[in-house]
A and B are shown apart, each in its own frame.
Chain A
Amino acid sequence: MNKRATFSNSWLAAALLLPQLLLVFIFFYWPSGEALWWSFTLERPFGGGNEWVGFYNYLSVLQDSRYWGSVRVSVIFAIAASALSILLALMLAVFVDRRMRGHQILKTGFFLPYALAAPAVGLAFRFIFAPDAGLIAGINRVFPGLWNPALDGNDALTLIILAQAWSLVGYNFIFFLAGLQSIPRALLEAGAMDGAGPLRRVWDLQLPLLAPTLFFLLVINITDSFVNSFGIVDIVTSGGPARATELMVYKVYTDGFQGKDSSLAATQSVILMVLIMALTFVQFRFIERKVHYN
């Protein structure tokens, strides 16, 4: 049966589509096109004229060791934050799925971080992990200088990884919980009858059956770490110290809006865009061929 609405009047259909198309065009295709154009030109900082330079911008970006530094930091950030967040979310979901005491309240509690805006998360982490007044201040008093994100690049990177992982836990948790609850209880009972203890059942039965969810979340988390980390980085470290936390998306911002080099920023954003498209492609391919049991 054809469930689509059909319009005999194609003008009406066009009119109904127009607002959405306009929005997408103005806020997505136009800027993207502009960025693509700028990446092949040298743009004046305050507008007014430009000069076609071909692949000059791409060459200078790709030959810049500072750019590769930001790629390195971004990859570490994306993988570490995704892995940490997925691991935590999986643990929480397994606990909630076992219906331990208070699981109803915890379920809501674990999801809440997802509702927070990235800058708010960043600010909270900045205060909580402040070297002189935060949670770690006590340890710092015993071992002076052990933890200082404002001076130590590794500490700073760790801090934004923690913040990003924490803000993604809620989202991952909900997916894992839904996945776990869709596994028939009889399967786990059969596992118990076969002699597998709770941990063994997680490892042998629940994890393999969660594989599709796991893969989906991994792609989503990595994508999110590449594009949505601006808020956290800007508030917590502003890319410092000494560019130790200058993620690709943050470098676009600093080069473009602080360095006023629109062309270089546009080039980097095009590269980032291609990367995200590749990830999205992987994800779509995967969802189409999603592993189905039964």
Chain B
Amino acid sequence: MTGIELRSLRKTYSGNDVLHGLDLTVTPGEFLVLLGPSGCGKSTLMRMIAGLEAVTTGDILIDGRRVNDIEPRARGCAMVFQNYALYPHMSVSQNIGYALKVAGVPKAERQARISAVAGSLALTDFLDRKPSQLSGGQRQRVAMGRAMIRSPRVFLYDEPLSNLDAKLRVAMRLEIRRLHQKLGTTTVFVTHDQVEAMTLADRIVVMNAGRIEQVGTPSEVYQHPQSTFVAEFIGAPGMGLVDAIADPKRGVLCLGDGQEVRFDAARWPDLPHGAVRLGLRAEEIGITAHPSAHTVMARVELIENIGPHRHAHLSLSGCNLIAQVPNDFALQSGAQVAIGFDMAALQLFDPATGRRHAGQNVPLAERIAATV
């Protein structure tokens, strides 16, 4: 199994930094997803690993060997391209077998390996067709077959599902995950779709503007986003952010409109007095018919029906929040409602840097038990 290591990797296009010195380790056998909005440098990073882009400064190591100046073909990576990049003049079997042909593998062995790969991807009936005669999903599988046949040390996927329709995307996602479970090959997968990232990844690398915002398992990234960027980017909908002034001595967060939220100040013993940003996920906000000392008032702007539940878009002291509401809960847009938060899930961010106030990650109940 193969590991990849990036050491202060930088990429500059005509004087502009695209990647600002990244450090990252991909552990052997891992499924790593590079996630970020378009233009964040995730594809560039993958293409540098593949050898399709030159490294400006820094090092790329595959299996401990520096590969900066090594040709793509010698790096042992196979790549699935966004538009599949199938050779239009070659049949499916020629497409899949091209790497072997270039490598000079004898024809008999080539045929055997092509039919093995085609069989595992349900492509056996299409081996003589040209790519133009295939559906999107079939083309996608040919592209995967072309990568698989070389038994590469590393799989690279460059947004491979973005050209498929929604249903096929889910099916192919499963297939990719299944392939990884079967082969256990180290995989780097680029996407801008956070659902894809959450479902596929062992670890997610969230990237923004050429920097790594956070590296973590899907649940780490979802539950403990290290920055407001990650908080808003991950999850559908993303985390709602509300500006406030923290008053740790009194144990309250003062919202802009004068309302106050009591919070567990003991969880953030080092929190200074001053501006903070509250982070709350939709499922951690409850709307209640009974205002109390633990609730604040917000205005319902809009209600979206999702299916299993509804999303209420709220305005709380001028900031936008989304709350998850059961379908049978009576609610009208324009109404003033009382909302309460799951305080154990509350995240606080520094508005100046965007970084998360770490605090202690001890669940509330245990800390209450300790003080009693």
Residues of A within 8 A of B (CB): 184, 186-187, 189-197, 200, 204-205, 208-209, 211, 292-294
Interface size class of B (residues with CB under 8 A): 20 to 34
Q: 16 pairs across A/B with beta carbons < 8 Å?
A: A184-B83, A186-B82, A187-B87, A187-B88, A190-B81, A193-B50, A194-B102, A195-B99, A195-B102, A196-B73, A196-B102, A200-B102, A204-B102, A211-B89, A293-B88, A294-B132
Contact B146 A186 (CB under 8 A): no
Alpha-carbon gap, A111 to B89, bound state (A): 29
Alpha-carbon gap, A196 to B103, bound state (A): 8
Given contacts A189-B52, A204-B98, 10 further A-B contacts (CB under 8 A): A184-B85, A186-B81, A186-B85, A190-B87, A190-B146, A191-B98, A193-B50, A193-B72, A204-B102, A209-B89
Contact A190 B79 (CB under 8 A): yes
Alpha-carbon gap, A293 to B89, bound state (A): 7
Between A and B, how many residue pairs show CB distances below 8 Å?
Answer: 67
Q: Kindly report which residue of chain B lies nearest to residue A190, judged by CB atoms.
A: B85
Alpha-carbon gap, A289 to B103, bound state (A): 35
Q: Give every chain A residue within 8 A of B78 (Cβ-Cβ).
A: 193
Q: A190-B146, A193-B72 are in contact. Are A293 and B132 (CB under 8 A)?
A: yes
Alpha-carbon gap, A192 to B85, bound state (A): 12
Q: Give every chain B residue within 8 A of A189 (Cβ-Cβ).
A: 52, 72, 79, 81, 85
| Interface flag for B77 (CB, 8 Å) | yes
Contact A195 B87 (CB under 8 A): no
| Interface flag for B218 (CB, 8 Å) | no
Contact A192 B89 (CB under 8 A): no
Q: A195-B99, A294-B132 are in contact. Are A209 and B88 (CB under 8 A)?
A: yes
Contact A194 B131 (CB under 8 A): no
Q: Kindly report which residue of chain B lies nearest to residue A211, judged by CB atoms.
A: B89
**Chain B, range 56-94, C-beta contacts under 8 Å to A:** 71-73, 77-79, 81-83, 85-89
Alpha-carbon gap, A211 to B89, bound state (A): 10
Contact A193 B77 (CB under 8 A): yes
Alpha-carbon gap, A184 to B86, bound state (A): 10
Q: Give every chain B residue within 8 A of A190 (Cβ-Cβ).
A: 79, 81, 85-87, 146
